[in-house]
Structure 1
Amino acid sequence: MNLMRQLWIVIGAVVAAFVVSWVIYMPDADQRGAWRAQTGGAIITLGPLQAKLYSETSVSCVHELSFPAHLKLVEFAEGATVTLQGDILMLRVDGSLDPTPFVRIDALPETCGPANPNATPQQVFDALWAAMDEHYAFFDLHGVDWDARRALRPADGATLADNALFVVLSETLSGLDDGHVQLGASFDYFSPALAPDWFPDTVTFDRGDLRQAARDTIGTDLTLVDQTAIEYTLLPDGIGYVMIREMDLITPLGAREEPTIALAFQQVADALQDATAIVIDVRYNPGGSDSVAFGIASHFTDQPVDVLTKTTRDGDAQTAPFTATLWPFDDTPLTQPVILLTSKLTGSAAEIFTLAMGALPQVVTMGEPTSGGLSDILGFTLPNGWSLGLSHQTYRSMDGALFEAVGIPPDVPFDIEAAPLQLGEDPLLRAAFARARGQ
Structure 2
Amino acid sequence: MRTLTATAAALILAAGAVPAAAAARPGPPGTDGVWRMDGYGTVLAIGGGVLREYQTTSVSCLEGDTSRQTGPGTYAAPDGSLLTVRTAHDRDHALLAADSSVGHRTLRRLNALPAACTRPVPTDPRTAFDVFWQTFEENYPFFARKHIDWHAVRDRYRPLVHEDTTKDQLFGILSRMVSPLYDAHVTVTDGDRHFGQVRPGTQAPSPELDATVRKFIAARDLKDALGREDFGAGRITYADLPGGLGYLRISGFGGYAGEDAPYTAERAELDRALNTVLTPSRTERLKGLVIDLRVNGGGSDSLGIRIAERLTGTPYTAYAKRARNDPADPGRHTRPEPVPVVPADAPRYTGPVAVLTGGSTVSAGETFTQALMDRPGPTVRIGQPTQGVFSDVLERTLPDGLRFGLPNEEYLTRTGRTFDGTGIPPQLTEPVFTEEEFAENRDSAFDRAVNLLGGRG
The TM tier, using the shorter chain, reads 0.7 to 0.9
Does the Cα contact within 8 Å between 1:302 and 1:330 map onto a contact in 2? no
Correspondences of 1:105-184 after superposition (within 5 Å): 105-112=110-117, 119-150=123-154, 151-155=156-160, 157-184=162-189
Please name the residue that 1:36 is paired with.
Answer: 36
Equivalent of 2:264 in 251, 255, 269: 255
Shifted more, 63-72 versus 121-130: the winner is 63-72
User: Per the alignment, in what secondary structure is the counterpart of residue 352 of structure 1?
Assistant: helix
- Partners of 1:114 and 1:194 lie apart in 2 by 40
Does the Cα contact within 8 Å between 2:50 and 2:75 map onto a contact in 1? no
User: Per the alignment, in what secondary structure is the counterpart of residue 247 of structure 1?
Assistant: coil
How far apart are 1:341 and its partner, in Å? 0.2
Shifted more, 128-137 versus 210-219: the winner is 210-219
Mapped pair 1:280 → 2:284: no
Matched to 1:250, the amino acid is A
- Partners of 1:269 and 1:159 lie apart in 2 by 61
Does the Cα contact within 8 Å between 1:60 and 1:127 map onto a contact in 2? yes
Please name the residue that 1:190 is paired with.
Answer: 195
Does the Cα contact within 8 Å between 1:381 and 1:388 map onto a contact in 2? yes
Please name the residue that 1:16 is paired with.
Answer: none
Please name the residue that 1:102 is paired with.
Answer: 107
Please name the residue that 2:214 is paired with.
Answer: 211
* Structure 1 residues 80-131: Cα deviation after superposition (integer angstroms, max 9, x where no partner): 1111112212111122211111212222234336998x82111111111001
Mapped pair 1:296 → 2:296: no
Over 3 Å counting, the alpha-carbon distance change for 1:157 and 1:348 in structure 2 is closer
Please name the residue that 1:402 is paired with.
Answer: 418
Matched to 1:377, the amino acid is V
User: Per the alignment, in what secondary structure is the counterpart of residue 111 of structure 1?
Assistant: helix
Matched to 2:63, the amino acid is H
Mapped pair 1:325 → 2:340: yes
Mapped pair 1:266 → 2:275: yes
- Partners of 2:235 and 2:342 lie apart in 1 by 22
* Structure 1 residues 187-215: Cα deviation after superposition (integer angstroms, max 9, x where no partner): 31112423535x599x9952331233222
User: Per the alignment, in what secondary structure is the counterpart of residue 314 of structure 1?
Assistant: coil
Segments of structure 2 that go 5 or more residues without pairing to the other structure are: 1-26
- Partners of 2:451 and 2:161 lie apart in 1 by 63
How far apart are 1:288 and its partner, in Å? 0.7
Does the Cα contact within 8 Å between 1:232 and 1:241 map onto a contact in 2? yes
Shifted more, 207-216 versus 302-311: the winner is 207-216
Please name the residue that 2:452 is paired with.
Answer: 435
Does the Cα contact within 8 Å between 1:285 and 1:346 map onto a contact in 2? yes
Does the Cα contact within 8 Å between 1:81 and 1:92 map onto a contact in 2? yes
- Partners of 2:247 and 2:136 lie apart in 1 by 41
Does the Cα contact within 8 Å between 1:200 and 1:418 map onto a contact in 2? no
Please name the residue that 2:53 is paired with.
Answer: 53
Matched to 2:38, the amino acid is Q
How far apart are 1:237 and its partner, in Å? 2.9
Equivalent of 1:347 in 356, 362, 371: 362
User: How many residue pairs align between the two structures?
Assistant: 410
Mapped pair 1:421 → 2:438: yes
How far apart are 1:258 and its partner, in Å? 5.7
Please name the residue that 1:233 is paired with.
Answer: 239
Does the Cα contact within 8 Å between 2:293 and 2:356 map onto a contact in 1? yes
Percent identical residues: 28
- Partners of 2:266 and 2:39 lie apart in 1 by 26
- Partners of 2:389 and 2:136 lie apart in 1 by 16
How far apart are 1:264 and its partner, in Å? 3.6
- Partners of 1:235 and 1:64 lie apart in 2 by 49
- Partners of 1:144 and 1:387 lie apart in 2 by 22
Equivalent of 2:97 in 92, 114, 139: 92
Segments of structure 1 that go 5 or more residues without pairing to the other structure are: 1-26
Over 3 Å counting, the alpha-carbon distance change for 1:33 and 1:131 in structure 2 is same
Over 3 Å counting, the alpha-carbon distance change for 1:162 and 1:357 in structure 2 is same
Over 3 Å counting, the alpha-carbon distance change for 1:171 and 1:303 in structure 2 is same
Equivalent of 2:428 in 407, 412, 426: 412
Over 3 Å counting, the alpha-carbon distance change for 1:57 and 1:422 in structure 2 is farther
Does the Cα contact within 8 Å between 2:278 and 2:347 map onto a contact in 1? no
Larger radius of gyration: 1
Matched to 1:431, the amino acid is R
Shifted more, 237-246 versus 107-116: the winner is 107-116
Please give the root-mean-square deviation of Cα atoms over the aligned residues, in Å. Answer: 2.8
